[in-house]
């Protein structure tokens, strides 16, 4: 394999591994803050125990996410120096803001939250977790706005054979980025809720702390359903943006080869079969693709054949990833809706079949998010900045295949170890359950 392909594999591997931690951090930060809010406003000790237990899992995940995120930025200078040279004036600004503002704030306030339990008042302590949670979500916003610029570049001009920013406000208000941000944020909330439901179900299967984990499960079920429905709604909005500004990606997502009006959607998982959606042997929803793209049943969809072969994304992985993402998202909506009703029943904790299902459902949102990113990044190819800079022109000119292979092996070993540590710690403390006695915190905070 050449340097471009190897560098793509390396960045994809590190990026996908990093994204294992990010959505859980986004979701658990807000949910932990919500639980502590309930404790402060009600004085109910169970909410404090929930804050401590789920907050501990949040901290483990956050620490690993920070480590894996930092190494990604080095690749812009090592593997993708031509990209950095060409668009560094634009792409570098959000990264600098994220590091100096959002990451600084979340790190500081998480530190105060960790060590401030017995030192500051309840309201002051609650403020720190909310500030940390908001900063964490702002960090995601800034990074996703940077990624959105690569998908839909705005606010720039080409001068001296480089892209230079001439409208910072346009970059910050890029509609493509804001829809992407809300979609990603809600998916993080859904993922955290499914983790809480799964861990709670595991403990309920063993009759551990029934009141604690039934309450956790019920709270998470509502969060999961609302967030999953929100993901579907914002996903539809995002599809409209993709159809308008990245028509080749949209055509690859649906394996649409011919330019037509009133295009139906093929539900099969075979892109070679999905070229036509009007034959009797197809599982097809008439006009659905035109409605999805432009909310118009007679809208024209530009087919892949209207793009030169060298400008077409890889169709099969984009097509399959999109369908797997949507399928998992549909499962999440149905499972979380069922969880709301089942968890309200009198004998909920004895429903072993459903509880077992929810334990095994934990990976569903993780897989959905990974497939979503595959759609986003496969579908953008062969562009690294859509319509501006090709991926093949962005790689470092002096780097060799051997160097990339060695660094890829190093990253794989390092990330494998970090992943093993993270799984070990999460499983260990998830199985351990909540602290039995939090009276020392209550006594100290009560006097503060």
pLDDT tens, residue by residue, 162-199: 888 888 888 888 888 899 999 999 999 999 999 999 99
Look at residue 273 in the predicted model and tell me its pLDDT.
47
- Rounded to an integer, what distance in angstroms lies between the CA atom of residue 31 and that of residue 130? 10
Check pLDDT > 60 for residue 281: no
Tokens of 281: 């042997």
In the chain, the percentage of residues whose pLDDT exceeds 90 is 15
Confirm whether 347 is domain-assigned: yes
**Would residue 271 count as lying in a domain?**
no
> Does 302 fall in a domain?
no
pLDDT in tens, 35-88: 899 898 888 888 888 888 888 888 888 877 776 777 777 777 778 888 888 888
Task: For residue 292, tell me if it sits in a domain.
Answer: no
Query: Does residue 10 register a pLDDT over 70?
Result: yes
Rg over CA atoms, the chain? 23
Q: What's phi and psi for 325, nearest 5 deg? A: -60, -50
Report the Cα–Cα distance between both ends of the chain, in Å, rounded: 63
Number of domains into which the chain is organized: 1
Closest CA to 11 of 364, 19, 371: 19
Average pLDDT value for residue range 235-241 = 86
**For residue 364, what pLDDT is reported?**
92
Q: What HEC string does 10-31 produce?
A: HHHHHHHHHCCCHHHHHHHHHH
- pLDDT value at residue 438: 59
Q: Is position 120 within any domain?
A: yes
CA distances 336 to 27, 202, 223, 327, Å, are: 16, 16, 9, 14
- Residue range 381-406, pLDDT digits in tens: 898 888 888 888 888 888 888 888 88
Average pLDDT in the chain? 83
Q: Residue 256 falls within a domain, yes or no? A: no
Domain of residue 183: give its range: 3-234+318-447
Contact in structure between 263 and 216 (CB atoms under 8 Å): no
Establish if 301 belongs to a structural domain: no
pLDDT (0 to 100) of residue 379: 86
Size (the chain), residues: 448
Answer yes or no: is 18 within a domain.
yes
Report whether the peptide linkage leading into residue 382 is cis, meaning its omega lies within 30 degrees of zero.
yes
């Amino acid at each position: 394999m050449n340097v471009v392909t190897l560098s793509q594999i390396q960045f994809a591997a590190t990026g996908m591994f990093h994204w294992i931690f990010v959505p859980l951090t986004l979701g658990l930060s807000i949910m932990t803050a919500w639980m502590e809010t309930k404790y402060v406003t009600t004085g109910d000790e169970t909410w404090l125990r929930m804050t401590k237990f789920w907050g501990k899992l949040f901290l483990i995940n956050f620490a690993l996410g920070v480590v894996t995120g930092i190494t990604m930025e080095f690749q812009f200078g090592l593997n993708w120096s031509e990209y950095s040279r060409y668009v560094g004036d634009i792409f570098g600004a959000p990264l600098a803001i994220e590091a100096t503002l959002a990451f600084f704030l979340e790190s500081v306030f998480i530190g105060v939250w960790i060590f401030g339990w017995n030192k500051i008042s309840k309201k002051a302590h609650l403020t720190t977790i909310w500030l940390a949670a908001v900063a964490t979500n702002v960090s995601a916003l800034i990074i996703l706005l940077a990624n959105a610029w690569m998908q839909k570049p705005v606010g720039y001009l080409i001068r001296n054979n480089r892209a230079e920013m001439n409208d910072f406000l346009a970059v910050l208000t890029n509609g493509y980025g804001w829809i992407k941000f809300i979609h990603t944020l809600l998916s993080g909330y859904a993922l955290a809720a499914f983790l809480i439901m799964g861990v709670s179900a595991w403990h309920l299967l063993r009759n551990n702390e029934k009141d604690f984990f039934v309450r956790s499960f019920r709270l998470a079920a509502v969060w999961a359903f609302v967030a999953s429905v929100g993901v579907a709604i914002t996903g539809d909005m995002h599809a409209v943006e993709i159809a308008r500004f990245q028509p080749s990606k949209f055509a690859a997502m649906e394996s649409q080869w011919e330019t037509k009006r009133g295009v139906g959607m093929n539900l099969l998982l075979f892109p070679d079969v999905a070229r036509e959606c009007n034959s009797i042997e197809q599982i097809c929803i008439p006009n659905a693709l035109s409605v999805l793209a432009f909310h118009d049943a007679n809208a024209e969809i530009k087919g892949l054949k209207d793009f030169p072969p060298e400008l077409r994304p890889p169709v099969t992985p984009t097509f399959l990833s999109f369908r797997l993402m949507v399928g998992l998202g549909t499962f999440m909506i149905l499972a979380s809706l069922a969880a709301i009703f089942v968890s309200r029943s009198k004998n909920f904790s004895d429903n072993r079949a459903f509880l077992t299902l929810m334990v095994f459902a934990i990976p569903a949102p993780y897989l959905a998010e990974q497939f979503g990113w595959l759609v986003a990044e496969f579908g953008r190819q062969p562009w690294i900045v859509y319509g501006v800079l090709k991926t093949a022109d962005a790689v470092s000119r002096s780097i060799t295949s051997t160097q990339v292979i060695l660094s890829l092996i190093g990253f794989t070993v390092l990330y494998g170890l970090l992943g093993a540590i993270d799984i070990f710690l999460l499983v260990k403390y998830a199985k351990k359950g909540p602290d039995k006695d939090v009276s020392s915190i209550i006594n100290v905070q009560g006097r503060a």
